[in-house]
């Protein structure tokens, strides 16, 4: 235990303040009452951690200079009266728990001394600290159980890999208590560790291809030179790859078969190599070592699989070369030769490519074909020919045909033997060039054409002949002031020619007549100016002038045309601006094709109209002659409204009834649309069966009559049954009967029977 000394004060500053207060009290009491100096007296308190003796553990003693038999010591603070307690009379402080410095290294308490009788403080409170001494009772602990590190393979000795860290919870101010040392206890033949925890290599031949990862164990302990407690951690070290290996062919030779019609750049086959480095370090390059076909094939490395892809650089021909054989080498130019392993850097393999025969289409001997022909030359019918042959051993015959043409049309033909023909002369102004696609097909042994064909482009260029005269071009309608001065430029004209511009010069302009108030001035740049010759136009005499202009093209032969320039004479102000001009009538032209189409349409309409009229007239004649009495009777219908009497002739055609009577047409002569129901022979009993039979017959006829109206119609039939003594009361049948009844008496019945009298009266 620590022995407390009473000669030490709590603090010098506190002592000074107390002295000053004492002096002030003495002076204030005029030195009548003298107070003695009092103070807390103790040494700094310390206690070791983890004391293994029975509790409580004596910490120290607090004391005061107060001399009072009733004095009582008290502790206050967070840990007072729990962990730490004080003996009231002696001031001895005890710890009632074993202390751990790693949990708490210092405890701050407050000491008080009071009078036990009235609990009055005899001294001001004083704070003090109890420090816990470290006893090195903690083992260094790694901050993590597993560490990871990496280092490039084949690295030199001493290359840093990673760093491990262990922490000791003991007091670092005490020598040897928190000092940590490291040691590799597993894998020390490859790696080592220093006191700071840095792990480094001990060998320079660490090869990732032999072993890519290492697992070592590192121990951490404190108190160097002692055999104190320690802890361990696992360190996993990965060797990263470097490019230190060359690729090696998987097979000493490769054999491929390929058809001869493989396209240029197509894949013939792939050669495979093995590179034990990581993919990012595989940069295989392929090259030809022996063989004369490096101009025929190329080998390109696939960046993803590292395979060598063999492709043809030009077309293969079985008939010329049936097999290719050459040696290739696989290397890696990026290999670091400092770490290259012995055993040879070259890997060579033999490649054999067998070309198989296929039925190839014909091959044209010349591509493309080009011919020239003069336009409008009627004598030229053959331009030349195209030629193709069968590249296979069969050497079949070839048939040619035209596939496409531009411009579209029958302008150029191709015969079966490949002769290019012209059915008619070509016009350069329509098209300066004509293009066709000619197809060549082999003729098989059975006479049919092969489905394989090849194509050739044929270009026909039409050379120009001077067969078009130049034409006048002017940007606006020419106008001139009536008071224009001589030499005034009216308009600048130019010319255009559908033919090619003659290399011998420009267009030539001239006036067809000099008898005008206009003149023409050449500009020698394919333009000319129309100017005023004398001036002072008279609008009263002529408001519009027609000036013929002749233009020639200097071609061979030279062609010219006469174009009429219409010039308006206008009124102008003093500044020469036009104020009034006559409006020229616009010419509206219709092409000949449009006129022909119009005439054809008019003629067609007239013919159709005549046919319709003739058909209607023919139907009318047939209806007048072919109707019989029964038909007329069948077409009479009943109306719910009252008619106008004998003068009402709008409900039916009276002329038809008259024609029947006057012409004496018998009902039997022309059969009705509906069959007449004959009266049954006399003495046959009439009944329901007879009427039912008549109705069924009529209904069947109506159902089968296509000319019947599509809606229901009420028909009135003249048959009244066999038992009627009056028989039929229809007046229509009486008109065709053979009776000698005189109907003149109807004229005596008055105006109401006038129409009936006219129907059955005697003929005039």
- pLDDT tens, residue by residue, 500-523: 776 666 788 889 888 888 999 988
Does a structural domain hold residue 588?
no
pLDDT confidence of residue 675: 41
Residue 656, Ramachandran bin (φ over 0: left; ψ between -120 and 50: alpha; else beta): alpha
Both 99 and 148 in one domain: the answer is no
> Quick check: 63 and 88 in contact, CB under 8 A?
no
Distance CA 237, CA 216 (A): 8
Distance CA 463, CA 375 (A): 6
Among 425, 420, 428, which residue's Cα sits nearest to residue 377? 425
> Residue 628 corresponds to which tokens in the numbers above?
């019989």
Distance CA 745, CA 761 (A): 9
Q: What is the pTM of this model?
A: 0.41
Both 346 and 291 in one domain: the answer is yes
Per-residue three-class SS string for 23-49: HHHHHHCCCCCCCCCCCEECCCEEEEC
Among 114, 109, 136, which residue's Cα sits nearest to residue 124? 114
Question: 161: burial class by Cβ within 10 Å (0-12, 13-18, 19+)?
Answer: buried
Distance CA 288, CA 313 (A): 14
Both 253 and 330 in one domain: the answer is yes
Residues facing residue 271 across a β-bridge: 308
pLDDT at 420 over 70: yes
Calculate ∠ Cα 471-472-473, nearest 5°.
Answer: 120
- pLDDT tens, residue by residue, 368-396: 899 999 888 888 888 899 999 888 878 88
Q: How do 71-76 and 106-115 pair as beta strands?
A: antiparallel
Range(s) of the domain holding residue 122: 44-133
Phi, psi dihedral angles at 424 (to 5 degrees): -155, 160
> Residue 461 corresponds to which tokens in the numbers above?
């260029």
Q: How do 253-259 and 347-356 pair as beta strands?
A: parallel
- pLDDT tens, residue by residue, 589-613: 456 777 888 989 999 999 999 999 8
Q: Residue 245's Cα: distance from chain center in Å?
A: 46
* CA-to-CA separations, 337 to 243, 244, 301, 340, in angstroms, rounded: 9, 7, 22, 5
Both 319 and 284 in one domain: the answer is yes
pLDDT confidence of residue 703: 74
- pLDDT tens, residue by residue, 207-228: 888 899 999 999 988 765 455 5
Does a structural domain hold residue 422?
yes
Distance CA 67, CA 69 (A): 7
Last residue of a domain, one of 133, 168, 200: 133
> Residue 436 corresponds to which tokens in the numbers above?
């066709």
Both 390 and 455 in one domain: the answer is yes
Residue 506, Ramachandran bin (φ over 0: left; ψ between -120 and 50: alpha; else beta): beta
Both 372 and 307 in one domain: the answer is no
> Residue 604 corresponds to which tokens in the numbers above?
């067609």
CATH of the domain at 539: 2.60.40.60
Among 228, 218, 225, 174, which residue's Cα sits nearest to residue 197? 218
Residues facing residue 572 across a β-bridge: 578
pLDDT band at 622 (very low <50, low <70, confident <90, very high): low
Last residue of a domain, one of 103, 133, 163: 133
Output the CA torsion sign for 428, 431, 433, 437: negative
Residue listed under structure tokens 């701050």: 108
Does a structural domain hold residue 521?
yes
**Which positions ≥6 away from 592 have C-beta within 8 Å?**
none
Residue listed under structure tokens 């006469």: 562
pLDDT at 337 over 80: no
Kindly provide the residue ranges of all beta strands, DSSP E only, lying in 308-397, ordered along the sequence: 308-312, 323-331, 347-356, 363-364, 369-374, 382-385, 388-389
pLDDT confidence of residue 710: 55
pLDDT confidence of residue 740: 61
pLDDT band at 55 (very low <50, low <70, confident <90, very high): confident
Both 73 and 107 in one domain: the answer is yes
The domain tally of the chain equals: 5
- pLDDT tens, residue by residue, 97-150: 888 777 887 888 888 888 888 888 888 888 888 887 777 777 788 999 999 999
Does a structural domain hold residue 530?
yes
pLDDT confidence of residue 63: 81
> Quick check: 410 and 423 in contact, CB under 8 A?
yes
> Residue 696 corresponds to which tokens in the numbers above?
């069924």
- What average pLDDT score do residues 15-30 get? 37
Does a structural domain hold residue 633?
no
The residue with greater pLDDT, 660 or 369, is 369
Last residue of a domain, one of 356, 390, 412: 356
* Residue-by-residue DSSP string for 475-505: SS--EEETTPPTT-EEEEEEEE-SSPPPTT-
Residues of the chain above pLDDT 90, percent: 23
Both 252 and 350 in one domain: the answer is yes
The residue with greater pLDDT, 66 or 420, is 420
> Quick check: 668 and 629 in contact, CB under 8 A?
no
């Amino acid at each position: 235990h620590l022995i407390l000394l009473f000669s030490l004060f709590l603090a010098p500053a506190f002592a000074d303040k107390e002295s000053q207060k004492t002096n002030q009290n003495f002076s204030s009491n005029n030195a009548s009452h003298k107070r003695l100096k009092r103070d807390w007296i103790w040494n700094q308190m310390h206690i070791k951690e983890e004391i293994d003796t029975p509790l409580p553990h004596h910490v120290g003693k607090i004391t005061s200079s107060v001399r009072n038999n009733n004095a009582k010591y008290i502790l206050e603070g967070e840990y007072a009266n729990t962990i730490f307690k004080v003996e009231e009379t002696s001031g001895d402080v005890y710890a009632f728990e074993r202390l751990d410095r790693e949990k708490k290294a210092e405890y701050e308490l407050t000491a008080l001394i009071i009078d036990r009788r009235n609990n009055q403080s005899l001294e001001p409170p004083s704070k003090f600290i109890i420090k816990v001494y470290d006893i090195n009772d903690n083992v260094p602990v790694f901050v993590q159980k597993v560490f990871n590190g990496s280092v490039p393979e084949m690295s030199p000795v001493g290359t840093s890999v990673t760093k491990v860290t262990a922490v000791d919870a003991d007091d670092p101010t005490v020598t040897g208590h928190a000092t940590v040392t490291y040691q590799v206890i597993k894998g020390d033949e490859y790696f080592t560790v220093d006191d700071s925890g840095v792990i480094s290599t001990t060998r320079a031949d660490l090869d990732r291809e032999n072993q890519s990862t290492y697992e070592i164990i590192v121990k951490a302990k404190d108190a160097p030179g002692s055999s104190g407690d320690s802890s361990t951690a696992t360190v996993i070290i990965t060797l990263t790859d470097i490019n230190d290996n060359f690729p090696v062919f998987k097979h000493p030779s490769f054999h491929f078969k390929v058809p001869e019609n493989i396209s240029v750049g197509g894949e013939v086959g792939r050669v495979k190599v093995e590179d034990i480095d990581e993919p990012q370090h595989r940069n295989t390059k392929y090259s030809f070592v022996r063989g004369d076909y490096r101009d025929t094939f190329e080998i390109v490395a696939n960046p993803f699989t590292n395979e060598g892809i063999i492709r043809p650089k030009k077309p293969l021909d079985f008939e010329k070369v049936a097999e290719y054989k050459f040696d290739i080498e696989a290397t890696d130019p990026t290999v670091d030769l400092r770490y290259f392993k012995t055993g040879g850097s070259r890997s060579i393999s033999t490649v054999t490519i067998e070309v198989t025969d296929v039925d190839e289409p014909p091959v044209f001997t010349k591509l493309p074909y080009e011919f020239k022909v003069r336009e409008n030359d009627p004598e030229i019918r053959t331009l030349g020919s195209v030629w193709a042959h069968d590249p296979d051993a069969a050497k079949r015959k070839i048939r040619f045909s035209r596939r496409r043409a531009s411009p579209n049309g029958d302008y150029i033909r191709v015969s079966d033997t490949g002769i290019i023909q012209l059915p008619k002369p070509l016009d350069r102004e329509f098209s300066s060039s004509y293009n066709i696609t000619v197809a060549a097909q082999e003729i098989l042994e059975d006479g049919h054409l092969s489905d394989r064909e090849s194509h050739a482009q044929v270009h026909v260029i039409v050379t120009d002949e001077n067969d078009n005269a130049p034409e006048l071009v002017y940007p606006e309608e020419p106008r001139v002031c009536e008071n224009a001065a001589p030499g005034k430029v009216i308009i600048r004209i130019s010319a255009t020619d559908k033919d090619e511009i003659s290399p011998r010069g420009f267009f030539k302009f001239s006036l067809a007549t000099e008898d005008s108030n206009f003149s023409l001035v050449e500009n020698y740049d394919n333009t000319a100016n129309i100017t005023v010759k004398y001036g002072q136009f008279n609008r009263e005499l002529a408001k519009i002038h027609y000036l013929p202009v002749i233009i020639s093209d200097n071609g061979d032969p030279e062609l010219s045309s006469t174009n009429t320039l219409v010039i308006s004479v206008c009124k102008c102000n003093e500044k020469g601006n036009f104020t009034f001009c006559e409006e020229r009538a616009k010419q509206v032209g219709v092409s000949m094709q449009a006129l022909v189409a119009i005439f054809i349409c008019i003629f067609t309409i007239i013919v159709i109209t005549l046919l319709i009229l003739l058909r209607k007239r023919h139907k009318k004649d047939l209806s007048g002659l072919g109707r019989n009495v029964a038909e007329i009777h069948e077409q009479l219908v009943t109306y719910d409204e009252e008619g106008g009497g004998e003068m009402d002739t709008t409900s039916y055609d009276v002329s038809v009834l008259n024609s029947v009577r006057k012409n004496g047409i018998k009902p039997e002569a022309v059969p009705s649309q509906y069959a007449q129901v004959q009266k049954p022979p006399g003495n046959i009993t009439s009944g329901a069966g007879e009427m039912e039979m008549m109705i069924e017959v009529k209904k069947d006829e109506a159902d089968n009559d296509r000319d019947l109206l599509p809606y229901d119609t009420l028909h009135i039939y003249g048959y009244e049954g066999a038992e009627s003594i009056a028989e039929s009361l229809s007046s229509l049948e009486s008109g065709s009967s053979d009776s000698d009844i005189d109907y003149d008496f109807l004229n005596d019945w008055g105006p109401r029977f006038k129409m009936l009298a006219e129907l059955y009266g005697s003929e005039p």
